[in-house]
A = this chain, B = another copy of it.
Amino acid sequence: MSRDRPRTRAPRRSPDERRAQIADVARAIAVADGLSAVTLRAVAKRAGVAPALVAHYEPAMDVLVARVFAGIVADELEEVAGLAAGLAPRAALEAIIATLLGGARADVTAVWVEAWALGRRSEALAAEVRAQMDAWAALLRGVIEAGVATGDFSVDDAGAAAWQLLGMIDGLGAQALVRWGGAGERSELLLRAAEGMLGVRRGG
């Protein structure tokens, strides 16, 4: 009951354990309340530890924030990549779009938007944002190139198309944070737009 106020000194842990705990706590805060809620004191409080200890393990908070962002986003990428792995290009495209716009991912999208905004003032975060965008674009480019190879897609520059598709996905996801038409309708329309961009033969 009175456990939340740390009257007692936090139990001594190995640096690795403590580091891991801090990372976990920071991530939980980011998902729940946004990247900007990942502060020295918030992390310390939730970890049941003095603020100075967090500062000890994380000498610069913006680096921690950048790492938290990277972790969240990379996990989602991995999940989606696994999902699309065995599928044919058209099916993979559909699966990716449906998954990302399916709703229930609003928290990750919020993290993206906030990272974009905060990245203007944190070089560490900005660099990580660029890296994660690269990774996503690479995934999409792979799918598009596969589709070009099979003849499903017809596009000159797969890399450019991948960036474009990524932008469209991000934009619609962000929009969903504020206003939602039905999720089904959203992915349906985006799929048609993507097909138009990728030169899919309609009804194929």
Which A residues are closer than 8 A to B by beta carbons? 34, 36, 110, 113-114, 116-120, 126, 129-130, 133, 157, 160-161, 163-164, 166-175, 177-179, 181, 185-186, 189-190, 192-197, 199
Structural contact, B166 and A175, CB atoms closer than 8 A = yes
- In the bound complex, CA of A114 to CA of B120 (Å): 10
A164-B190, A168-B171, A171-B171 known; A117+B116 contact, CB < 8 A: yes
Residue of B nearest to A137 (CB): B179
Would you mind naming 27 contact pairs between A and B with Cβ atoms under 8 Å apart? A34-B120, A110-B120, A114-B120, A116-B177, A119-B178, A129-B178, A130-B178, A133-B178, A157-B185, A160-B181, A164-B186, A164-B189, A164-B193, A166-B175, A167-B171, A167-B172, A167-B175, A168-B190, A169-B171, A170-B171, A170-B174, A170-B175, A192-B196, A192-B197, A192-B199, A193-B197, A194-B196
- In the bound complex, CA of A194 to CA of B118 (Å): 30
Structural contact, A160 and B179, CB atoms closer than 8 A = no
Structural contact, A189 and B160, CB atoms closer than 8 A = yes
- In the bound complex, CA of A194 to CA of B113 (Å): 23
Residue of B nearest to A199 (CB): B192
Residues of B contacting A160 in the complex (Cβ-Cβ under 8 angstroms) = 181, 185, 189
- Max chain B C-beta neighbours (<10 A), residue from A114, A168, A174: A168
Structural contact, B178 and A172, CB atoms closer than 8 A = no
Residues of B contacting A178 in the complex (Cβ-Cβ under 8 angstroms) = 116, 119, 126, 129-130, 133
Structural contact, B110 and A174, CB atoms closer than 8 A = no
